[in-house]
Structures are given as C-alpha cells and as structure tokens.
Chain A
Amino acid sequence: MGGIVVHFLKRILLTFLILVIIVVLPKPAAAMHIMEGFLPIKWAIFWTITSLPFIILGFFSISKSVNKNPELKLLLGVSGAFAFVLSALKIPSVTGSSSHPTGIGLGAVLFGPLAMGVIGFIVLLFQALLLAHGGLTTLGANTFSMAVVGPFAAYGIYSLSKKAGFSQGIGIFLAASLANIMTYITTSFQLALAFTGPTGFLVSLGKFLGIFAFTQIPLAISEGMLTVVIYNFLAQYSKNELSQLTNTRG
C-alpha cells in the first residue's frame, strides 16, 4: 500500500521536475499538424503514398477484430472517441503557446497500431475538412506522423515496457506520452525535409524540433496520465473485452 503512494508521488514529482526544467528554458514554440498547402507537391504525394498501405491494412485489421468479436465495436468506438476529444483540445504549454494532444495511445495499445491508423486518419480528415486544421494535401503527411508513427511507437513502447516488467500503468503512460512526442518529432522531420532552406537539413530540423518538441512535453505527460485514467476504468469495467483483445493479438 505504501508502495503505491510512493509510486504515484514519484510520478507527480517527476512531472513537476520536468515542468521546472522547461520553465527555465523559455522558447516560443507551437506545434500542430502541417497546414493546407504547406508541403511542396512532391512531398505531399510522397507522404500520401507512404501512408496509404498502412490505412488499407488498418481497415483489414479492424474488420478482422470486429468480425471475430462484435462486442469490441463499442471499445473501438471508445478508442476513436478518446482520439476525437483529445485532438480537439488546445492546451496551453509552459513554453507560452498551445498545442493539441493526439489521443491515439489508447487505441494503439488496445487494438494494435494498424487499426488505430484508420481512426487517426478519420480524425485528421474531419479536422481538415470542417476545421481547416491540417489539410487535404498534407493529409498523407499528417496521417503518417499521427496515425502511423504514433500508434506504432505507442504499441512498441507498450510491448517493450511489459517485457521489461514494468507495471501496466507505467507501460500505458510511457506508450501514450512517448507516442505523442514521436508524432511531433516526425512532423518536424517532414517539415525539415521539405524546407531545408539555405542553411541545410540539420539546421532546419533543429529549428522545427525546437518549435515542436518542447511545447509537446507537458502535453505528452498529460496525455500519458489521461490514457492511464481511461485504461484504469476499462481494466475495471471492461475485463471481458480486454481479454478478448489479448486473445486476438495472440
């Protein structure tokens, strides 16, 4: 019992430690999806082609899970709803700007990275069409960062942390928060590749990483913790569905 208290105190302490460090390095920053028209056409096409196979495979993955266990449809809805909510929130960061979390960690850990690719894609499409946030030309690139790299990173980190013997909570936290950061690191790479400018790729990369990575850190931590909260609920109330999922994943 005391162990759990220490465990959570440690986590909260770590959070504030990181907070303090970030406050000491003020940097004007911001991060979100790449805006409409802001990827040169060859890159727009490249990223669309790169992300397409993942989306297609994702559709098959979802049909497979849902056909085997129709009760999982609700849980898939939960994963989608979670991503929908988190992507809609603009949260202020200690760097002085605001950004969106991704919310893809939950679904990636539950249903695997391919299934989450489709859900991430749907969220991005919705935001591009109705909110002019992100874009259709940049949909491929944003899909690759948020719906492919993100979920794969989440799933990979979760699996690794289970193998390393970490608790479920820590695994989920690391998966969701690090996947968030990976998504925005990918976005930085995409922009740096497209906009190397006269100073070259590495300088551009450094600039974009500076813009994206620092702002995201507190948001990633919040997202990690929130994903744990939801997962705790599911572990308590949706035990059947969770065990079905582990069975399908093998």
Chain B
Amino acid sequence: MAKYKNLILICAIFLLSTLPLFIIESDFSGADSIALEAIKETNPEYKPWFNSFWEPPGGETESLLFALQAAFGAGFLGYYIGYKKGQKKVRDR
C-alpha cells in the first residue's frame, strides 16, 4: 500500500481540482478581475498609474504563454526524473 501512496495523492489532487468543474456553475474566471472589483468598491476613484510594457494580444496567446511556462518547467522535471532513474539503475547493477 505504501508504494501506492504517490498514486493515491495524485488521484486526490486530480479529484480536488476537477470536482469544482462538475459541482459548481461558473465560468471560473481568473482572479485579478474580482480583486479589481473589490478595489473599485473601496476606492472608486483609483486609477492604475502604470501599464504593462507588453500584454499578450488575446486570450489565445496568453494561454500559449502559460502553457509554455508550464511545459518548460514540466520538461525540466521530466528530464530530472529520467536522469535520476537511469542513475539509480546503473548504481544498483
């Protein structure tokens, strides 16, 4: 059972993350907008005094960049996992 602990954890994470999609009616809009609304309520006269140098032209490009960020990180993690498993194989021989 102990050797399944990682699998169990991963299943639990998967459930936790996907359950909201099934039980909640929402478009799951990202966060910044709601904090923005709150600021409008407390300080309605506030205007942002600086704009980002560059913004992704649209939702699609933004998705691409987030996906790339995740992919680079995941790629490195995958490389590390493979490297270490190979190392162990050689060591245990």
Interface of A toward B, CB cutoff 8 Å: 1, 4-5, 8, 11-12, 15, 19, 23, 26, 28-38, 40-41, 74, 77-78, 80-100, 126-133, 135-137, 191, 195-199, 204, 207-208, 211-212, 215, 218, 221-222, 225-226, 228-230, 232-233, 237-238
Contacts and interface: CB of A to CB of B under 8 A. Distances in A.
Given A1-B2, A229-B9, A31 B31 contact: yes
Contacts of B66: 88-90, 131
Given A84-B69, A229-B10, 19 more contacts: A1-B1, A29-B34, A33-B32, A36-B48, A37-B48, A37-B51, A38-B35, A77-B80, A85-B77, A88-B67, A90-B30, A91-B17, A97-B28, A99-B31, A135-B52, A137-B50, A212-B35, A221-B16, A233-B6
Interface in B35-91: 35-36, 38-39, 41-43, 46, 48-56, 62, 65-67, 69-70, 72-74, 76-77, 80-81, 83-85, 87-88
B39 A38 contact: yes
Contacts of B21: 92
Q: At the interface, is chain B mostly helix, strand, loop or mixed? A: helix
B16 A207 contact: no
A28 B38 CA distance: 11
A195 B16 contact: no
Contact of B88 (A35, A195, A199, A237): A237
Contacts, number: 208
Nearest to A75: B80
Contact of B43 (A100, A195, A238): A195
A232 B10 CA distance: 12
Contacts of B73: 80-86, 88
B8 A191 contact: no
A4 B20 contact: no
Interface residues of B, number: 61
B29 to A, nearest CB: 6
14 contacts: A4-B5, A19-B16, A26-B24, A29-B34, A88-B66, A92-B21, A96-B28, A97-B34, A130-B65, A135-B50, A137-B50, A195-B42, A204-B42, A237-B84
* Top-4 shortest CB links A-B: A197-B42, A37-B48, A30-B31, A84-B73
